[in-house]
Chains A and B, each alone.
Chain A
Amino acid sequence: MTDSKISKDLFLSILAMDAYNRGYDAGIADGEGDTVVDSDGNLIDKDGLGLAGKQVGAAIVLNVPLPTDSEANSFYALSYEITGDNAPEGLAGKTVVSFRGTDNLNPFSNWFGDGMWDPGTGFLLGAGDIEVPQASLSHAFYSDVLASTTGGASAEDIILTGHSLGGGDIADGSGF
């Protein structure tokens, strides 16, 4: 008999991509085309994925706000609660934090109100500069998730994932 559950690594990869497609500047919900009011009364892009309370597989998007100045610095992250019978092995009951990677390479982005570009606020993480804005924001978000987890979960109950620059955010978010 074949195991119908997807692997832990594959699921974490999906969640790493999911962070690009929710919230502000979402890749799929692109602000174009028709909008609709969802079941919660929120106006969303028809092609959007939705925010807190929405589900992707065994993951439910939690309602943890981004830290102050996240948008101005092109930082975005999501947290999920992994639950249900379909949870990949090793993830059931855990909280996953997914950091969005590079999605803003326009040096003029700040001029049309889209926050600073990623190279200016995050790329130096790769060179070991842990004082760039996205580094402190990733750490703040991780700390908020840890503090808000019910039952006072420990750091071992929180799994981090991310793609591209999101990987750098992971390094800082977890405090190495």
Chain B
Amino acid sequence: MKYFLIILAVLGLFFLSMFGWVSVKYRLTMTVDTPDGPRTGSVVRREGYGFTGLPSEIGGGHKWNTQGEALVLDLGGGKYVFALLSTSLAAGSFDAAGRLADWRGSPPNFYYAFLGLKWFTYGSVPVPAHKMPLLVSFADINDPASVFRVDPKDMAASLGEGYALRDMQVEITWARMTEGRVEEVLGWLGQYPELPLLPKVDPHDFSFAAKMRQGQFIRRPN
């Protein structure tokens, strides 16, 4: 009986060692030049990384998940710009020494950086172009159908003369996740990530607004 329990415990530990997860919170800060001067906003989100030590053919591999909400930046005059949740900032963002500033790492390095508790002293670093979140705005903040994309390289084209992205920075943080800012501005938005922004979409409507999902603005912990 004793050996059976030992074997069972070893098998149990082996099973558990095949799975794991880590998560880290980061603050994203965006500054935009407007005709009335620069405006800055930030958001704290959480990124989770999970791994399953099984062959990918049967569900193994690495997964990334971003939770929290979009960065909301009030530009004044009823204009807002949102930096959405649609991309993973941490994936591939740490080098072998766990430095966030080097964006060429790999998922295991993120894991080691977390376990080594090296990351909490890092300052902010600029978000590189290939990690830039999708930016959107609304012609009418109360109308989800009026959503449009904002090009970070040419904000003036969609927002008007005098608007330009000055800076976007990211830093690891212990702060609480931001909650409620998006709902405050977009009172009509629901909480289900898989649902569209529009109340009803036609299956053949492939427009930008019709393809947007609520999860690009809010993704709360399950």
Binding site for B on A (CB under 8 A): 24-25, 27, 30-37, 40-43, 51-53, 62-72, 79, 81, 102-116, 118, 145, 148-150
Contacts and interface: CB of A to CB of B under 8 A. Distances in A.
5 contacts: A63-B196, A65-B195, A108-B50, A116-B222, A148-B203
Contacts of B86: 42-43
B126 interface: no
Interface of B: 19-23, 46, 48-52, 54, 56, 58-67, 84, 86-88, 91-92, 107, 130-134, 149, 192-196, 201-206, 208, 210-211, 213, 215, 219, 221-222
Question: Per DSSP, are chain A's interface residues mostly helix, strand or loop, or mixed?
Answer: loop
Given A63-B203, A106-B52, A114 B87 contact: no
The list of the 5 closest CB pairs from A to B, nearest first, reads: A112-B48, A53-B206, A43-B134, A112-B21, A105-B59
Contact of A108 (B19, B64, B202): B19
B63 A109 contact: yes
Contacts of B58: 102, 105
Given A40-B211, A63-B211, A114-B48, A102 B222 contact: no
Contacts of A42: 86, 134, 208, 211
Contacts of A67: 194
A72 to B, nearest CB: 5
Interface centre among B61, B203, B205 (most CB of A within 10 A): B203
